[in-house]
Amino acid sequence: MAMNYIDQEAVSRQLPKRIAINKIIRGLFFGSTLFGLVVLAVLLYDVITDSWGWINWNFLTSVTSFDAANAGIIGAITGTLWLMIIVGPLTMILGVATAIYLEEYVKEGRVRTFFETNISNLAGVPSIVFGLLGLTVFVRMLGMGSVVLAGALTMSLLVLPIVIVASQEALRAVPSYLREASFGMGATRWQTIKNVVLPAALPSILTGMILAMSRAIGETAPLIAIGIPALLIPLPSGLFDSFTVLPVQIYYWTIDAALNAELASLAAATIVVLLVVMFILNATAILIRNKFQKRF
Amino acid sequence: MAQSTSVSALIKEKRQKSKRQKLENLVPAFLFAAASVSVLTTVGILLTLIVETAMFFSEVSFREFFTSTEMQPLNRNNPTFSILPLLSATLLSTVIAMFVAIPIGLTTAVYLSEYATESARRVLKPIVEVLAGIPTIVYGFFAFTFVTPVLREIIPILDRTNILSPGIVMGIMIIPMVASLSEDALSSVPNSMREGAMAFGATKFEATVRVVIPAAISGIIASFVLGISRAIGETMIVTIASGSNKNLTFDITQSMQTMTAYIVEVTSGDAGAGTTAYYSLYAVAITLFFFTLAMNMLAKYISKRFREAY
Amino acid sequence: MSQVSVKQNAKVELQPQGEKAEAKKEIVYSTEKVNLWYGKTHALHDIELDQREQEVTAIIGPSGCGKSTYIKTLNRMVEMNPDVKVTGKIYYRGQNIYDRRFPVEELRTRVGMVFQKPNPFPKSVFDNVAYGPKIHGIRDKKLLEQIVEESLKGAAIWDEVKDRLQENAFGLSGGQQQRLCIARCLAVEPDVILMDEPTSALDPKSTLKVEELVQELKAKYSIMIVTHNMQQAARISDRTAFFLNGEVVEFDKTDTIFSNPNDSRTEDYITGRFG
């Protein structure tokens, strides 16, 4: 042997300890990974037991009320639907257009860096700050008041970065030979995008859209900031009607639960409804992804 | 006849072509307009915050806001404005959250990236990520109606609203973020590093601690910083579960109000537009905005600056 | 660990035939009927090979013939791939290393490995070399410095890096990085060094340096080297094994393999008729 600094006997003696440490760590880290699962289970258990017996047809179809026994969430459901109807198409158009602009037209250089830096910074802005923007610009400056349109526009700006980034990734995944083939046949840039690139990227774009929607229907803070009322009886029927949404309904019932324990059950029941809706949205996204996932 | 049809066809084609050309030119303009929305949003946020904050500081001095310790914005006779109590609450809740999120997130990342078999990974990773998809309002409810009562069994002096419980729950919410970003960093360390380490007889744990984690450290720290940014900006959990006490304190058993929770209270309360309390909203929001922006830029800087080129 | 009985056993069993001088060189590694599957792909067929002390064994063969896989079975690094199944026996100094009770970490402290692509850690030159000794419990700073210096000298790179020990190892050239990896390997005082195409990523000049180094190291270590370069095998090895399609076609003294091979396929390969 060349050198003789390492005492091989000592190494052998220590080895069982080192191997045992590795095993213990492995077990601990596995436990830590399961921690999330445990919390999830406890959370669902808590929500479901709290809501037990409260979710029924009456609850889903009644308007809200001071009387917990008769209160329902049809108002919040309608409001959430209204929000989706506007946020979905609006962010899809703006988000996909922005992504096309950055991926297919600008491509490299300072302009793109500028836009992308801006988008990624925007994605990190706390949602409550978007709420203040909505409050100041849409509700106050443009005088809309706390109506469907103001909420939807605020929410659209909030999820727009998510849609843009998802669409960019979808477009980037379309291989360049498809574009080249189209250009090669004499198609213009826009024809290529419209007929070749977008159809190929559509499933991924839709997946990203649905995930963004699921974020939007769970957001609470910006809508509270634009001043959604705590108790609202009439259902919204247009862009300029007052409205409430599921998470805001949950918020007001939760903070009032100290006064009336039944309100906590109402909040839990609404949470179950919200989680079910989100579960359906996410499952749809996964289905779309699996069905259309193409390996280019 | 044949001649004339071909001529008219030619004209037709030419017309179509010019129409197509017009479209070709119009499209980028439309796309640019769409892309500008995100820029306008940023401008809108900055302008709103700056203008209204300026209004606030025309009534309250910088010094009072940043150095006094009394926060009584709705006191009719003598309203006082200080961001320090709100900052202390934000700081405390963030620290508590990171005490939960960093150890669990990082160890989860190490397990998934270094120990788990491929099939175990496929099952465990989505479960961890489900936690990230749960709306914060649900976490708020969970903190308020479950975690706080449980904690009060253990710590009887805990107030009904306190900063400890939402801090912990916020940490749980941030676990997936830390775990998945750290895991990305760990798995981008090339296998040759692990092989190199293990070829000397290092156990998996030794190879991970001495080689893989140091090699991925920039990405891991960036994930912590992003987690911090997320914790600072988180609103609903603290609004619901930590109450609205505006005391400058570091006692985690007490009710405290974070910057975000303050904004919710004032916007949903009865501070009318034009009052100083209303403008204080923007001064708090701009502080919040710059804190999170600084954290996000720091994260980006860390992951760029210290990225190893393998 | 009860080494003695097994050791004797193996020694008797695997006594090389012929020359007396060689009989004195103890067998370090012996491989019996080793088969290996990657999932359903049968990658190694009944491999039988010996490695003697203070010798260089070269493993040659066309790419995909299993030579890298084989060398990785010797320190069980092959298990880093999922879905690997190994049967047969590999004795390292008389102990079956595929025995479940045999700790792989122990084996790897005795058997160093140099990889195809230099894989220094993103640490300083010093820390790269000190890594192994530290893992094995050496904390004394003076001692570490000594080990680092001697290892770097042993790997013939000391003069080039002695003034930049604290610099990041990524700043070295490819050839330097590979010699650093050899130094890193020497620092844990191995008994055997496995080299998996150590010069394939290097320029001719660095290759020559590594080859010279292998010749020097032979005095103290047993070395097994996988190479795609037949001239290299001829230059530096004492014995050569020719692998083809996961089988050992021929294993003999290097001189014999290159001057008078038994098998026509070996001849075809070394005369460049295929591969």
pLDDT of B274 reads: 79
- φ, ψ dihedrals at C36, nearest 5°: -140, 135
CB-CB neighbours of B16 under 10 Å: 10
Domain extent for B91: 84-305
Is residue A21 domain-shared with residue A97, that is, in the same domain? Answer: no
Is B78 a member of any domain? no
CA torsion through residues C248, C250, C253, C258, sign: negative
- Please indicate, yes or no, whether residues A87 and A170 belong to a single structural domain of this protein: yes
Q: Do C151 and A12 touch (CB under 8 A)?
A: no
B170 lies in some domain: yes
Domain count, chain B: 2
Please check the confidence at residue B2 and state whether its pLDDT lies above 80: no
Separation of CA C92 from chain center = 13
Distance of alpha carbon B72 from its chain centroid, rounded?
Answer: 28
User: What is the average pLDDT across B82-101?
Assistant: 96
The residue written with tokens 């609004």 in the block is: B239
Name residues whose C-beta falls within 8 Å of residue A187's C-beta, 6 or more positions apart in sequence. Answer: A195, A196
With an 8 Å Cβ cutoff, are B144 and A131 in contact? no
pLDDT of residue C13: 42
- Give contacts of A4 with chain C, Cβ < 8 Å: 189
Average pLDDT over residues C234-241: 93
| Residue-level pLDDT at B271 | 66
Do B201 and C108 lie within an 8 Å CB cutoff?
yes
Q: Give the mean pLDDT per block of 10 residues along chain A (296 residues).
A: 71 88 96 93 94 89 82 92 95 96 88 93 95 94 93 97 95 90 87 91 92 93 90 85 94 88 92 95 86 62
Using a CB–CB cutoff of 8 Å, tell me whether A8 touches chain C: yes
- The span from the CA of A238 to the CA of A250, in Å, is 23
User: Residue C19: pLDDT above 70?
Assistant: no
**pLDDT at position B149:** 95
Instruction: Note whether residue B286 is domain-resident.
Output: yes
Whether C102 has its CB under 8 Å from any CB of chain B: the answer is no
Instruction: Name which of A2, A6, A18 is nearest C154 (Cβ-Cβ).
Output: A2
Do A90 and A18 belong together in one domain?
Answer: no
Q: Which residue has the tokens 């990785």?
A: C72
Q: Is residue A1 part of a domain?
A: no
Within-domain flag for A4:
no
Q: Is the pLDDT score of C26 beyond 60?
A: yes
Q: Do B214 and C123 touch (CB under 8 A)?
A: yes
B75 assigned to some structural domain: no
CATH of the domain at B165: 1.10.3720.10
- Confidence label for C209 from pLDDT (cuts 50, 70 and 90): confident
End-to-end Cα distance, chain A? 54
Residue C30 near residue C49 (C-beta atoms within 8 A): yes
Residue C212 has pLDDT above 60, yes or no: yes
Question: Of C126, C96, C107, which is closest to residue B199 (Cα–Cα)?
Answer: C107
- CB contacts of C170 in chain B (<8 Å) are 308-309
Whether the predicted pLDDT of B28 surpasses 50? yes
- Cβ <8 Å between B141 and A26: no
- Whether complex ipTM tops 0.90: yes
Q: What is the CA radius of gyration of chain A?
A: 26
Which letter does DSSP use for residue B146 in this model?
A: I
For residue A187, what are its two tokens?
A: 């198609």
Same domain, B188 and B258: yes
Q: Is B68 inside a domain boundary?
A: no
pLDDT digits (tens, 9 = 90+) for B105-140: 999 999 999 999 989 999 998 888 888 899 999 999
Across all residues in chain B, what is the average pLDDT? 90
Asked if the model's pLDDT at residue B227 lies above 60, the reply is: yes
Kindly state whether C80 is in contact with chain B, defined as any CB-CB distance less than 8 angstroms.
Answer: yes
Average pLDDT of the residues in B169-193 = 94
Same domain, B215 and B157: yes
Tell me if chain A has a CB within 8 Å of the CB of B227: no
B175 CA to centre of own chain:
12
Q: Are residues A92 and A149 in the same domain?
A: yes
CA distance B269 to A221: 14
Cα C100 to Cα B128: distance, rounded to the nearest angstrom: 34
Q: Over 50: is that where the pLDDT of C17 sits?
A: no
User: Dihedral, CA atoms, A197, A203, A208, A213, nearest 10 degrees?
Assistant: 120
Percent of chain B with pLDDT over 90: 69
The string of DSSP codes covering A122-180 is: HHTS-HHHHHHHIIIIIIIIS---SBHHHHHHHHHHHHHHHHHHHHHHHHHTS-HHHHH
Q: Do A165 and A26 fall within a single domain?
A: no
Residues B113 and B39 placed together within one structural domain of the fold: no
A9 touches chain C (CB under 8 A): no
- pLDDT for A114: 94
Strand partners, C241: C59, C251
Least confident of A123-127, A281-285, B11-15, B202-206: B11-15
> Residue A21 phi/psi, 5° resolution?
-55, -45
Which domain CATH number covers A76? 1.10.3720.10
Q: What residues in C contact A15, CB-CB < 8 Å?
A: 103, 105-106
* Amino acid type, B279: Y
Among the ranges given (A27-36, B65-74, B253-262), the one the predictor scored with the smallest mean pLDDT: B65-74
Specify the pLDDT at position C94: 87
Nearest CA in chain B to A119: B38
Residue A9 lies in a domain: no
For residue B139, which amino acid is it? Answer: Y
User: What is the rounded CA–CA span in Å between residue C227 and residue C234?
Assistant: 11
User: Do both B132 and B265 map to the same domain?
Assistant: yes
Q: What is the pTM of this model?
A: 0.88
Instruction: Please measure the distance between the N-terminal and C-terminal CA atoms of chain B and give it in whole angstroms.
Output: 72
Residue span of the structural domain in which A234 resides = 58-292
Binding-face residues of A in 125-184 toward B, CB within 8 A: 125-133, 135-137, 140, 157, 160-161, 164
Contacting residues of B for C121, CB less than 8 Å apart: 193, 196-197, 211, 214-215
pLDDT at C14 over 60: no
- B206·C188 Cβ contact <8 A: no
Contact assessment for residue C105 and residue A15, using Cβ atoms and an 8 Å cutoff: yes
CA A162 to chain CA centroid, Å, is 8
Instruction: Based on the fold, state whether residues B105 and B173 are members of the same structural domain.
Output: yes
Report whether C179 contacts C209 (CB < 8 A): yes
Rg, chain B, Cα only: 27
Domain check: are B166 and B32 in the same one? no
Choosing among B16, B45, B290, which should be mutated to test the A contact, i.e. which has the most A CBs within 10 A?
Answer: B45
User: Are A142 and A180 found together in one domain?
Assistant: yes
Q: Are C103 and A6 an interchain contact pair (Cβ–Cβ within 8 Å)?
A: no
Looking at the fold, whether B55 and B190 belong to one and the same domain comes out as no
What are phi and psi for residue A170, nearest 5 degrees?
Answer: -60, -45
Taking residue A296's Cβ as centre, other Cβ atoms within 10 Å add up to 9
CB A5 within 8 A of CB C143: yes
Phi, psi of B188 (to 5 degrees): -85, -5
Whole-number Cα distances in Å, B83 to A26, A222, B76, B228, B265: 44, 21, 19, 19, 15
pLDDT at position C228 is 87
Domain count, chain A: 2
Q: Choose between C104 and A100: higher pLDDT.
A: A100
Using the structure block, give the residue that is written with the tokens 């994930």.
Answer: B223
Contact C110, C191 (CB under 8 A): yes
In this prediction, residue A87 carries a pLDDT of 96
Cα–Cα distance, C79 to C262 (Å, whole number): 34
pLDDT above 90 for C137: no
> For the structural domain made of C4-270, what CATH number should be given?
3.40.50.300
Q: How many whole angstroms separate alpha carbon B50 and alpha carbon B44?
A: 10
* Nearest to A230, CA basis, from C150, B270, C266: B270
Provide the pLDDT for residue B101: 97
| Residue of A6, A12, A19 with shortest CB distance to C188 | A6
Query: Does residue B79 lie in a domain region?
Result: no
Q: Quick check: A23 contacting C, CB < 8 Å?
A: no
Q: Are residues A66 and A98 in the same domain?
A: yes
Lowest mean pLDDT among B271-275, C70-74, C172-176: B271-275
CB of B29 less than 8 A from some CB of A: no
Measure the CA–CA gap between A255 and C17, rounded to whole angstroms: 89
B1 — pLDDT class (breaks 50, 70, 90): very low
Cβ atoms of A215 and A222 closer than 8 Å: no
- CB-side neighbour CA atoms (13 Å) of C202: 27
**Distance in angstroms (rounded) separating the CA atoms of residues B172 and B138:** 12
CA nearest A222: which of A184, A257, A251, A262? A251
* CB-based contact B285 A129, cutoff 8 Å: yes
pLDDT at B308: 57
Cβ–Cβ contact C122 with B under 8 A: yes
Res. C189: pLDDT tops 90: no
- The answer on pLDDT for B5 being more than 80 is no
Across the interface, whether the CB atoms of A21 and B131 are under 8 A apart is answered no
Contact at CB, C1 and A19, closer than 8 angstroms: no
B268: pLDDT strictly greater than 90:
no
Give yes or no: residues A239 and A113 share one domain: yes
Please report the pLDDT score of residue A267 as a whole number: 95
B232-244 pLDDT, tens digit per residue, is 999 999 999 998 8
Q: Where are the domains of chain C?
A: 4-270
pLDDT at C229: 87
Are C138 and A14 in contact (CB < 8 Å)?
A: no
A35 and A80 in a single domain? The answer is: no
* Integer angstrom CA distances of residue A205 from A99, A257, B38, B229: 10, 40, 18, 27
- On whether the CB atoms of residues B227 and B178 are closer than 8 A, the answer is yes
* Cβ of residue A101 closer than 8 Å to a chain B Cβ: yes
Residue in C81, C82, C90, C45 with CA at minimum distance from that of residue C194: C90
pLDDT of residue C16: 45
Shared domain for B232 and B174, answered yes or no, is: yes
Neighboring chains of A (3 or more beta-carbon pairs < 8 A): B, C
